[in-house]
Structure 1
Amino acid sequence: MKKLMKVVAQGEPFAVQSQKAENGQVMKCNIVLQELGGKYEDTYVAAMLGQLASCKFYAGELVYAVLRFQTREYNGQMFQDILVVELIKMKN
């Protein structure tokens, strides 16, 4: 999904284990993004990984977001992950 969105909140980055990373760890940060239009528009909690996790965004900022939605099965249950592929600050 590619969309202009508003930042609601961003958490602090933290290290998580990753088999894909050279040193076995990758930085991760969660961000809350809301579609534009009103107070009750759809809101998404997405994960930012790697260098993107160290970027700081503030509540109210407009961003162009490219999100990837993926599902996976674990122990017979289905889970959905939202990953930030790209996040660009828009000038207000």
Structure 2
Amino acid sequence: MNAKLMRVVQQGEAFAVQSQKSENGQLMKCNIVLQEMGGKFENQYVATMLGNMATFKLAPGDVVAVTLRFSTREYNGQVFQDILLTDFYKFN
């Protein structure tokens, strides 16, 4: 995967969700809106942050290098796309 430089637009609050894959049965999750670098009208993405990454607070305007994983799934004849933030580095 390639890292991409993006700007944080907003980040939601982290909340716990049930997960059979975690040790204690719960996993932290939050959504984040990221915008590609460039102008005011560059592409924006709503991605999911999971685990310890979800508890890290980012402010609007922060510049981060991110890797995103795009996946699709079918449910009841409809196709949904998920975007997962797999790694990030915040620039000071």
TM-score by length of 1: 0.94
Q: What corresponds to 2:73 in structure 1?
A: 72
Name the Cα RMSD after superposition: 1.0
Percentage of matched positions with identical amino acids: 64
Runs of 4+ in 1 over 6 A off after TM superposition: none
Structure 2 counterpart of 1:90: 91
> 1: distance between equivalents of 2:9 and 2:53?
17
> What's 1:14 paired with?
15
Unmatched segments (≥5 aa) in structure 2: none
Superposition TM-score, scaled by structure 2 size:
0.94
Paired positions, count: 91
Whichever residue aligns with residue 85 of structure 2, its letter is: V
